[in-house]
């Protein structure tokens, strides 16, 4: 299939549905599955913790392996969010509402939804304890609990979001505040931050910066805007090929980048942001802002901290190639909660889901897992309202590109994939357990050139 054909297929839900699930039909939510802790059994062959991207994708795959009655998903939240689109929501390019769907609509039909929170894990006894003293046992456990945002670790937040000049694309509660702050900007400093912790979608903190700069140009405010990116990192991006391209954009658009700067306080009443100089611990710098976009510190879910399945930092401790737990062979992990040394993105989860599917198949058959995850992840770096750089790379921070052209160049096609294709692929491919990353497309396209 030609590249254009692939783009057309994935950009239209009416084409995607038949393509990935022949004979599929819509069902009313009442027929999808049972919900609520009272309806749950006390044992499942496969228990999935977390109803985010990884948890839903794996529950769909496990349903096909062991049957819906033998799979349960523990998830307390009523709504499921497609978070990658929030970059565009914060810039006014997309509405917020389509990023949300009821959790009941994404749980695979027949799979038990246990609407509760995990209180602790007891892998030595093959069980987890939930709220209301509920205990669920399992044969296989898949942990996809995501990560936690820690706005509260920045002094003055989250209460500072009551100010009209502060926003964050990382929360459903604050993403629209970014757009309001952008619209309300008149002149002065527009500051964008990157925290001194692991983050999900490490490119997102600067995507909104490029979009804001483009918005200021479009509205005639750019001459009075000073764009500042204060990052705790020592580089603009971890992969040199894409970093070089981004630095050229930063230079051409007269954006100021300050490295090794970590936001520690927001004084919303005075419109001041306080940063620590990480090269000189204890030394701080105060910036006045007219607009502030905050990327919060992040960390592992509280339930994993000090649990038997966590590493020393609190992340789920898994083999980086098979996603099987290092100590407990019937425990597996996927997504942001793991200690996999790659960027935490939905694209990474897609690739991980395909590998984890093979790993579980092997383990269930008593075989040693042989399929290996190479650390593939992707970050469409939106640089304008109609352009993006499509960064794809592996564990070694080496480009692992899908298409037979230089993806470090700003392209309309890359933006179209981000803005219009990927949401359909997410809802109708990844969450249904039919999308395990672009490796097959990569092979198909590159073979076609030989």
- Look up 379 and say whether it is catalytic: yes
Rounded distance between C-alpha atoms, residue 102 and residue 427, angstroms = 12
Query: CA distances (Å), 93 to each of 202, 209, 386, in order?
Result: 20, 14, 10
Judged by phi (left if over 0) then psi (alpha if -120 to 50, else beta), residue 433 lies in left
Structure tokens belonging to residue 344 = 């935490």
CA-nearest of 116, 144, 119 to 129 is 119
Q: For 448, phi and psi rounded to 5 degrees?
A: -65, -15
Q: Which of 12, 127, 201, 337 is catalytic?
A: 201
* Residues 89 and 381 sit within 8 Å (Cβ to Cβ): no
- Look up 12 and say whether it is catalytic: no
206-220 burial: b if 16+ Cβ within 10 Å, else e:
bbbbbbbbbbbeeee
DSSP E strands in 82-130: the ranges are 100-102, 112-114, 118-122, 127-130
**How many residues comprise the chain?**
450
Residues with catalytic roles: 201, 379
């Amino acid at each position: 299939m030609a590249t254009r054909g692939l783009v057309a297929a994935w950009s239209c839900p009416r084409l995607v549905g038949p393509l990935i699930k022949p004979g599929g039909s819509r069902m009313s939510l009442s027929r999808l599955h049972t919900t609520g802790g009272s309806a749950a059994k006390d044992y499942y062959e496969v228990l999935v913790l977390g109803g985010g991207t990884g948890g839903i994708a794996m529950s769909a795959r496990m349903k096909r392996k062991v049957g819906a009655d033998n799979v349960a998903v523990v998830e307390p939240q009523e709504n499921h969010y497609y978070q990658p689109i929030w970059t565009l929501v914060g810039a006014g390019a997309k509405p917020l509402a389509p990023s949300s769907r009821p959790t009941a609509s994404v749980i695979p039909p027949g799979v038990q939804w246990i609407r509760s929170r995990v209180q602790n894990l007891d892998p030595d006894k093959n069980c987890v304890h939930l709220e209301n003293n509920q205990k669920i046992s399992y044969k296989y456990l898949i942990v996809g609990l995501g990560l936690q945002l820690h706005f509260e670790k920045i002094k003055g937040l989250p209460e500072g979001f009551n100010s009209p000049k502060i926003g964050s694309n990382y929360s459903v509660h604050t993403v629209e505040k970014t757009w309001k702050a952008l619209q309300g900007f008149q002149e002065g400093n527009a500051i964008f931050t990157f925290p001194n912790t692991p983050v999900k979608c490490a490119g997102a903190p600067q995507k909104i910066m490029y979009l804001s700069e483009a918005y200021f140009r479009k509205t005639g405010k750019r001459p009075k805007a000073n764009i500042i990116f204060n990052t705790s990192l020592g580089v603009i991006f971890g992969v040199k090929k894409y970093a070089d391209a981004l630095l050229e954009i930063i230079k051409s658009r007269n954006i100021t980048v300050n490295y090794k700067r970590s936001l520690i306080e927001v004084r919303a009443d005075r419109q001041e942001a306080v940063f620590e100089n990480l090269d000189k611990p204890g030394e701080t710098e105060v910036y006045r802002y007219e607009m502030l976009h905050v990327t919060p510190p992040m960390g592992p879910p509280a339930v994993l901290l000090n649990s038997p399945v966590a590493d020393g930092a609190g992340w789920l401790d898994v083999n980086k190639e098979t996603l099987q737990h290092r100590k407990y062979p019937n425990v597996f992990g996927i997504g942001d909660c793991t200690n996999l040394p790659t960027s935490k993105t939905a694209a990474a989860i897609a690739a991980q889901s395909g590998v984890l599917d093979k790993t579980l198949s092997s383990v269930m058959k008593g075989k040693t897992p042989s399929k290996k995850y190479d650390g593939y992840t992707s970050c469409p770096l939106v640089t304008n309202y109609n352009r993006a750089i499509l960064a794809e790379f592996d564990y070694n921070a080496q480009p692992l590109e899908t298409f037979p052209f230089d993806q470090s160049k700003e392209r309309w096609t890359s933006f179209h994939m981000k803005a219009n294709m990927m949401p359909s692929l997410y809802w109708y491919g990844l969450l249904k357990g039919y999308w395990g990353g672009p490796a097959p497309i990569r092979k198909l396209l590159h073979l076609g050139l030989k």
